[in-house]
C-alpha cells in the first residue's frame, strides 16, 4: 500500500510540476502555434458559452464533508447560466450508484462528475461512459484505470498526513519535547484513504525522529470518535500531540477530551470543518490546526466539467486542454491564516 500511495503522490506532483514547467517554457510558442487556443489565460472562462448538461453522482451525504461535496457541486452549477445540473440521489450502495450513472449515460448528459462510493467498483461504468463519448470527471476516490476518466480531481490523503505530522513535529521541536507521546484518531482502517493518511503521518513523524504512539480507528461519526478517544485518553496518561483524521468525528473527539478534562497536548484536525476553524480561531482549547481536505474540490470539479463540455482550457495555464489530473493541496490551517480559509469551512 505505501508504495502505491507514494507513487500516486509522486504522479500528482509530477503532473503539477510538468504543467508549471510547460507554462514557463512554452508560453510564447503556444500563443503562436495555437491561435485557436480558447480559454488558456484568456480570462474569458466566466463568460456564458455553449449549454452544458452535467450529470452528478455521489455517495449519500451522510456526514458533513460528504454533504458539503454535494452542496458545493450544486451551488457551483447554479453559478453558471449555461449549465444544467442533473444530480442523482446519493447512495452508499455501489450497485445502485452504477445504475444511476447508467441512467445519466442514457440521458446523454454532456459531462459526468462521479464521486464513487468505491472507486474500484465504479470503474467499469466510468469506462462505459467514456466509451459512449461522455467525458467523466472522477472526483476524489480514484477509479482503477485512467481509461475510465478524462480528469481526476481529488485531495491528497498522503499529504494530509504529512502536513499534520510536520506541523506537530515542528510544534514539539519548538517546545523542545523529547520522546513525545503522539496519538492518532484515524478513520475507517479498511479504506485506502485512511491508510494513506496514516502512512503520511507516520513518515513525516519519522523524518523528525518521532513515532506514532497510541492509535485508534473510529468510523467518521461523532459517536465513534467520542468512544474511541475516551478509550485512547485513558490509555495515555500523558499526550503531547493528537491528530484526528476527520473533523466530523472531531465533534465527538472534542467531547471526549472535554469530559476527560485534558489540555496538556496540541490537537490537529483533518478536512477543515467550520467548527474546527472556529475553535482554531478562538484558540481557547487544545485545537491548534486542521489539515485541509476541502470539499471545495467539488465546486472545482463542476467548473472544470463545464469547461470540458465547452472544450475550453484553464485560465492562466498554457494548456489547450484541461489537465488529466488535479490534486488539491492539504494546507495547514492555523490561527494565523484561518481567516483566509473560513470560506471553505464546511458545517459538520
Partner 1 sequence: MRVLDPKSAAPQEPRKHRRALDLRLTGLLGVLVVLCVVGYATRPDSFLTEANISTMLRLAAAIGVVSVGMTFVIISGGIDLSVGSIVALSGVWMTTVATQSYGPVVMVLCALLVGLGCGLVNGVLISYGKIVPFIATLAMYASAKGLAERLSGRRTQVVTETGFTTFFRGDILGIPVLIWLLAAVFAVGWVLLNRTTFGRRTFAVGGNAEAARLAGIDVRRHTALVYGLAGLCCGIAALMVVARTTSGASTNGMFYELDAIAAVVIGGTLLSGGRGSLIGTLIGVLIFTVVGNIFTQNNLDTDIQNIAKGVIIVAAVLLQRTTARRRTHAT
Q: Which is nearer to partner 1, 164 or 251 (CB)?
A: 251
Q: Rounded to the nearest whole angstrom, what is the least distance from the CB of residue 225 to partner 1 in the complex?
A: 7
Q: Which is nearer to partner 1, 70 or 138 (CB)?
A: 70
Member of 128, 230, 281, 342 binding partner 1 (CB under 8 A): 230
Q: Rounded to the nearest whole angstrom, what is the least distance from the CB of residue 213 to partner 1 in the complex?
A: 7
Q: Which stretch binds partner 1 (CB under 8 A): 34-42, 104-112, 158-166, 228-236?
A: 228-236
Question: Which of the 8 DSSP states describes residue 62?
Answer: -
Distance, in Å, from the CA atom of 105 to the CA atom of 132, rounded to the nearest integer, reads 8
Q: Rounded to the nearest whole angstrom, what is the least distance from the CB of residue 255 to partner 1 in the complex?
A: 4
Interactions with partner 1, residue window 186-215 (CB under 8 A): 189-190, 213-215
Distance, in Å, from the CA atom of 7 to the CA atom of 154, rounded to the nearest integer, reads 15
Assess contact for 129 and 108: CB atoms under 8 A.
no
From the number of C-beta atoms within 10 Å of its C-beta (0-12, 13-18, 19+), residue 117 rates as buried
Assess contact for 109 and 54: CB atoms under 8 A.
yes
Assess contact for 158 and 196: CB atoms under 8 A.
yes
Helical pair 247-260 and 222-235, crossing angle rounded to 10 deg:
40
Q: Which DSSP string do the residues of 159-192 spell out, in sequence order?
A: HHHHHHHHHHHHHHHHTT-SS--EEEEES-TTSH
Distance, in Å, from the CA atom of 5 to the CA atom of 181, rounded to the nearest integer, reads 26
Interactions with partner 1, residue window 277-316 (CB under 8 A): none
Binding mask 243-282 for partner 1 (x = CB under 8 A): -----x--xx-xxx-xxx--------------x-------
Member of 24, 35, 133, 237 binding partner 1 (CB under 8 A): 237
Which cell goes with 104?
A: 445519466
| Angle value at C-alpha 142, between 309 and 315, nearest 5 degrees | 40
Question: Which of the 8 DSSP states describes residue 143?
Answer: P
Binding mask 66-85 for partner 1 (x = CB under 8 A): -x------------------
- Strand-pairing partners, residue 147, are none
Member of 148, 151, 232, 305 binding partner 1 (CB under 8 A): 232
Does the footprint of partner 1 cover residue 219 (CB under 8 A)? yes
Interactions with partner 1, residue window 29-58 (CB under 8 A): none
Interactions with partner 1, residue window 91-150 (CB under 8 A): none
For residue 180, the Cα-to-chain-centroid distance in whole angstroms is 29
Q: Rounded to the nearest whole angstrom, what is the least distance from the CB of residue 87 to partner 1 in the complex?
A: 15
Interface residue list for partner 1 (CB under 8 A): 60-64, 67, 189-190, 213-217, 219, 221-223, 225-228, 230-235, 237, 248, 251-252, 254-256, 258-260, 275, 347-348
Amino acid at each position: 500500500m505505501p508504495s502505491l500511495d507514494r507513487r500516486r503522490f509522486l504522479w500528482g506532483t509530477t503532473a503539477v510540476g510538468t504543467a508549471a514547467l510547460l507554462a514557463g517554457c512554452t508560453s510564447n510558442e503556444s500563443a503562436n502555434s495555437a491561435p485557436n487556443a480558447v480559454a488558456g489565460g484568456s480570462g474569458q472562462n466566466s463568460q456564458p458559452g455553449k449549454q452544458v448538461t452535467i450529470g452528478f453522482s455521489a455517495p449519500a451525504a451522510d456526514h458533513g464533508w460528504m454533504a458539503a461535496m454535494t452542496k458545493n457541486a450544486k451551488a457551483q452549477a447554479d453559478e453558471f447560466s449555461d449549465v444544467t445540473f442533473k444530480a442523482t440521489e446519493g447512495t452508499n450502495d455501489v450497485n445502485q450508484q452504477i445504475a444511476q450513472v447508467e441512467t445519466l449515460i442514457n440521458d446523454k448528459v454532456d459531462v459526468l462528475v462521479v464521486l464513487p462510493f468505491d472507486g474500484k467498483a465504479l470503474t467499469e461504468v466510468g469506462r462505459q461512459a467514456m466509451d459512449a463519448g461522455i467525458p467523466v470527471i472522477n472526483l476524489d476516490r480514484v477509479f482503477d484505470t485512467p481509461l475510465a476518466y478524462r480528469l481526476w480531481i481529488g485531495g491528497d490523503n498522503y499529504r494530509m498526513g504529512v502536513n499534520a505530522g510536520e506541523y506537530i513535529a515542528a510544534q514539539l521541536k519548538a517546545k523542545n519535547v523529547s520522546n513525545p507521546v503522539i496519538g492518532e484518531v484515524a478513520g475507517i482502517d479498511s479504506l485506502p484513504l485512511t491508510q494513506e493518511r496514516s502512512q503520511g503521518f507516520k513518515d513525516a513523524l519519522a523524518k523528525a525522529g518521532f513515532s506514532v504512539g497510541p492509535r485508534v480507528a473510529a468510523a467518521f461519526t461523532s459517536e465513534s470518535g467520542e468512544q474511541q478517544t475516551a478509550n485512547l485518553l485513558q490509555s495515555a496518561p500523558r499526550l503531547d500531540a493528537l491528530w484526528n483524521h476527520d473533523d466530523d468525528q472531531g465533534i465527538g473527539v472534542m467531547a471526549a477530551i472535554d469530559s476527560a478534562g485534558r489540555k496538556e497536548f496540541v490537537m490537529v484536525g483533518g478536512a477543515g470543518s467550520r467548527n474546527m476553524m472556529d475553535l482554531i480561531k478562538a484558540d481557547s482549547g487544545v485545537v491548534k490546526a486542521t489539515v485541509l481536505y476541502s470539499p471545495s474540490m467539488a465546486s472545482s470539479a463542476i467548473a472544470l466539467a463545464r469547461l470540458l463540455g465547452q472544450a475550453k482550457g484553464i485560465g492562466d495555464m498554457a494548456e489547450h486542454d484541461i489537465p488529466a489530473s488535479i490534486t488539491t493541496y492539504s494546507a495547514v490551517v492555523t490561527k494565523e491564516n484561518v481567516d483566509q480559509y473560513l470560506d471553505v469551512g464546511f458545517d459538520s
